[in-house]
Structure 1
Amino acid sequence: MKKNEIEKKTEELLVPIAEANGVTIYDVEYVKEAGEWYLRAYIDREGGVDINKCVDVSHALSDALDADDFIEDAYTLEVSSPGLGRQLKKDRHFANSIGQNVEFKLFKARDGVKEFAGTLKSFDSDSVTVTINDKDENFLRKEISVIKLALDF
């Protein structure tokens, strides 16, 4: 089974668990790091999630994954909040972040610059518009290596 299929099937299993626990699914990722596989579920809710909610969701998801048993590799399951500097990957992430400050890096420099910060103005399937120094700048999504909410202290 491919990575994106594992992520999709895990998210399907997670939907009723999230609803029962009063949380939303932010993201699910299946990644290999230092030779080990990790299945990560990021959950959220208004006001944030605490460790107890992560534990509750983790136990329920672990049971569902064990019952379905569709992942061939050995992996570590992690359930957590997406954090303050959360990455924007899916359309729903972008939609929920309109008007917020973002930081992002490009794969290739634009006019000698690879890192940018500004306010997320809009997006579509191909591009992202960010207001930088009172000027709207358009970037292709395929140009962006990572985009996340900026941490304001």
Structure 2
Amino acid sequence: MSKHSLIENLKKQIEPIVEGLNYELYHIEFVKEGKENYLRIYIDSENGVSLEGCEKVSRAVSELLDDIDPIEESYYLEVSSPGIDRVLYTDKHLEKYKGYNIVLNLYSPIDKKKKYEGELVDFNENEINIKVEENIVTIPREKISKTTLKGEL
């Protein structure tokens, strides 16, 4: 099974558990760091995420994973909030943070810059528009390697 298929399969099975505990399943990733594998589950809610909430979700998801055993190799399960400087993976995430400051990292420079920071104004399937100072800058989505919320306290 491909990594993408694994993640999609896990998402379908984990999402109802997370939602049943009053959280949103923000993102799932399965990564190798050094010699270790990690299944990372990011949860969110309107009221934030507490350590107790992460523990509750971790226990419930761990039970499911023990039952369905979807991953052949050994791994560590981590459950956390996406954090203040969260990566915006989906259109749903972009919609939620319209009007907020974001950082766009690019694969290759546009106008000699590989990083743009500004207020998320709008987006569509092809591009993201941000306000930099008083100018609207349009960045093609295929040029963007990562979109991150600019955490501000």
TM-score range, shorter chain: over 0.9
Q: Is the 8 A contact 1:104 1:146 kept in 2?
A: yes
**Residue 126 of structure 1 corresponds to which residue in structure 2?**
126
* Aligned pairs for 1:130-149 within 5 A: 130-149=130-149
Deviations 1:24-82 (A, max 9, x none): 11111111222322111100001201000000100110110111112112111111000
| Superposition map of 1:1-153 within 5 A | 1-153=1-153
In structure 2, C-alpha distance between the alignment counterparts of 1:33 and 1:122, rounded to whole Å: 35
Q: Distance in 1 between matches of 2:71 and 2:91?
A: 26
Q: Distance in 2 between matches of 1:77 and 1:5?
A: 18
C-alpha deviation, 1:145, in angstroms:
1.4
* Letter of the 1:31 counterpart: V
CA distance in 2, matches of 1:55, 1:66: 16
The structure 1 segments of at least 4 consecutive aligned residues displaced by more than 6 Å after TM superposition are none
CA distance in 2, matches of 1:48, 1:23: 9
Q: Percent identity?
A: 35
- Secondary structure in 2 aligned to 1:65? helix
User: Quick one: distance in 2 between partners of 1:129 and 1:9?
Assistant: 33
Report the CA distance between 1:114 and its aligned residue.
1.2
**TM superposition score normalised by structure 2:** 0.94
Match for 1:5: what amino acid? Answer: S
Q: CA deviation at 1:126?
A: 2.1
Does the aligned pair in 1 maintain the 2:19–2:25 contact within 8 Å? no
One-letter code aligned to 2:143 = E
SS at match of 2:129: strand
TM-score by length of 1: 0.94
